[in-house]
Structure 1
Amino acid sequence: MPDARRAALLRLSAALGTRHEAAVRTEMEVARQEADAGAVEEVILQSHLFIGFPDALNALGLWREVSGLPAPDAIGEDPAGWEARGERVCAAVYGANYGKLRQNVRSLHPDVDGWMVTGGYGRVIGRPGLDLATRELCIAALLAVWNVPRQLHSHLRGSLNAGAPVDQVDAAVEIACGFLEPERAEEVRALWRDIRAKAAGNG
């Protein structure tokens, strides 16, 4: 995906984390010009996993207004395939930490483990329409703004595991930091520096 298109999606995803309609509208207007409409739809759809259905529904309504596009047809997937796809996608994102993740989430509540894999990774993140690396970069940008360092850590690593080059993660972090106050932005940069250094050491 060309850098300008990816940057527009990253800015939109980060803006969704602000909960500020004006910021979201601005980035939607840019994305309408720079990115594929289907990719924009996917960024908004996956955001509900992190910002919740109410904000995601409001964002979809705003996108209909900004884009002037009708809702697309449903992709009509068979839910029976979501669990297996979710296991594959979640394992790709978490790499060597996949087993530990599943164990940790099951210890919180076993039903949440199933929801995460089947619903989160199978139903949503594994959907066609956007490559996994771009999905993970967009998720990381949103989580940086949403201020959840533990989940941000996982998805910054997940971006690398999904195949995003370091410079693309650098760019996603800087885009997200553009929506943050300086102190918070430096916390995000410091987290990414630590992950990047450890990843380089493992390489």
Structure 2
Amino acid sequence: MKLGTIMTMLGMGAVLAACDCCPQGEAKALSQDKELRAVMDNFTQNEVPAATPLVEKREVELIRLVSLVTQQSGALLQEEVATALAQGLAPEEILEAIYQCAPYTGFPRTVDAVEIARSVFKAKNVKVDESRATVTAQSRLEAGADAQGTLFGQTFRDMAKNGKSGMPTINYFLASNCFGDYYTRKGLDLNTRELLTMAILVNLGTEPQLKAHIGANLKIRTAEYVEQAIYNCLPYCGYPRTLNALRLLKESVAETKAGAVNVADAKSMPGKDWSVFPVGKPNDAYAKYFVGKSYLDMISTEQVGVGNVTFEPACRNNWHIHHAKKGGGQILIATAGRGYYQEWGKPAVELKPGDVVNIPAGVKHWHGAAPDSWFQHLAIEVPGEGGRNEWLEPVSDEDYGKLK
């Protein structure tokens, strides 16, 4: 019986688990052509990474995983899962990246990919946390609509208020299944899932849907970051689909500039006497964690990290938490303009020059500019044992719109 017939009957994962090409569960590409392998490795491991420095290594790895799932490349996916583990990705992150493919590629590709990933975990004795769902049958619609609304606007939340019977079937499925069953899961944050959705659609070449998700990414990432993320799909989807995606990105950027009122564009940049600290350079490295544009100038990187952050009007960072086993946290000192700070479950606090905010470790919060004013603060990282930042969902337009 031919291999293609076996693949059709048993599925990609079963074949890879059973065939001689994967001894002891170790990943090994079906094709061992040395010249093709050399070209592929040079392009994927050297040339593309060198051209896309903004995209974090973790996100590069996740984009590769979803690209291989979408392209149904079992052998290379098995290799990439092993590589992802070696680079420090948690098995839950790997599985969630694969799960995120299901509403866009369908269950067959996703199920086969999950089996491949689990075969690698088993061979390497990697344990997986199986409790990653956060919704129930009763909460999935509301939770999904909230995630959808965060990315695409309040209209989706309003639509879900009518319940299943008051919505078109496709809208109900999108809110409850596509967003409720997947975007709400633990293991990957909302912004990362949206980046991976864009990568999946680049690989599929579904242009109307891709353009919408490019637009969603542009709300939380710079155009340069989105462009470089698209280039990371190129080795897997080829040039035609990559060129189409870049065209859609260009169109989306132009439409955003033409159709949206940008408060910052309507006002001049602050003058040199606005603050004793410079505005700094575009904060591209963290742009995906901000709504709007910010600038960063590191005042100190020794002993204690002190960053001078400038926010354009209406710019704010996502909800986030500073974690530490001992000590840690952050101190904010407002230096110019007008802004806000808010802790989860508490009202927002207005910040003006001279105001100081002490943020203990473990507190979920956000900070940023007022809707009509530039804002600047010093962000002082409090030393702590095992300190790290956990970036969460963006501040919704609805909640931010309540500020003045």
Deviation at 1:58, TM superposition (A): 0.6
TM-score (norm 2): 0.44
Match of 1:87 among 145, 148, 153: 145
Among 54, 69, 81, the alignment partner of 1:28 is 81
**Which residue of structure 2 aligns with residue 123 of structure 1?**
181
Give the Cα separation in 2 of the matches to 1:122 and 1:81. Answer: 8
Q: Aligned residue for 1:52?
A: 106
CA distance in 1, matches of 2:196, 2:135: 26
Q: Could you report, residue by residue, the CA deviation over 1:1-28 in whole angstroms, capped at 9, with x for unpaired residues?
A: x811111001111221111212322322
Say whether residues 1:143 and 2:201 are aligned partners: yes
Q: Are 2:78 and 1:19 aligned?
A: no
How far residue 70 of structure 1 moved from its aligned partner, in angstroms, is: 4.7
The two structures, once aligned, show a CA RMSD in angstroms of 2.6
Q: 1:59 to 1:169 in 2, by over 3 A?
A: same
C-alpha distance in 2 between matches for 1:62 and 1:76:
21
* Paired position in structure 1 for 2:37: none
CA contact (8 A) 1:28 1:66 kept: yes
Does residue 112 (structure 1) correspond to residue 170 (structure 2)? The answer is yes
What CA distance in whole angstroms lies between the structure 2 residues aligned with 1:175 and 1:62?
22
Alignment match, 2:222: 165
Q: Comparing both structures, which one devotes a greater share of its residues to strand?
A: 2
Q: Quick one: which amino acid aligns to residue 126 of structure 1? A: T
C-alpha distance in 2 between matches for 1:27 and 1:42: 15
Shift of 1:97: 6.9
Q: Percent identity?
A: 21
Task: State the structure with more CA Rg.
Answer: 2
| Residue range with higher mean Cα deviation, 180-189 or 50-59 | 180-189
Which residue type is aligned with residue 117 of structure 1? Answer: A
Residue 86 of structure 1 and its aligned partner are, at CA, apart by 1.1
- Structure-2 change in CA distance of 1:170 and 1:66 (3 Å): same
2:134 and 2:186 in contact (8 A); partners too: no
How far apart, in 1, do the equivalents of 2:212 and 2:99 lie?
20
Long gaps (5+) in structure 2:
1-54, 263-404
Aligned counterpart, 1:199: 256
The DSSP-based 3-state class of the residue aligned with 2:188 is coil
Change (3 A) 1:176 1:97: farther
What corresponds to 2:94 in structure 1?
Answer: 40
**C-alpha separation between the residues in 2 aligned to 1:130 and 1:78?**
15
Match of 1:187 among 244, 253, 268: 244
CA contact (8 A) 1:138 1:172 kept: no
Give the stretch that moved more between structures: 165-174 or 53-62.
Answer: 165-174
The letter for the 2-side match of 1:6 is E
Q: How many residues align?
A: 196
Q: TM-score, with normalisation over the residues of structure 1?
A: 0.84
Q: How much does 1:200 deviate?
A: 3.9
Higher normalized contact order (CA 8 Å, seq sep 6+, divided by chain length) = 1
Post-superposition offset of 1:159: 1.8
1:6 aligned partner: 59
Does the CA contact (< 8 Å) of 2:92 and 2:128 recur in 1? no
More displaced, 30-39 or 113-122? 30-39
More helix by share: 1
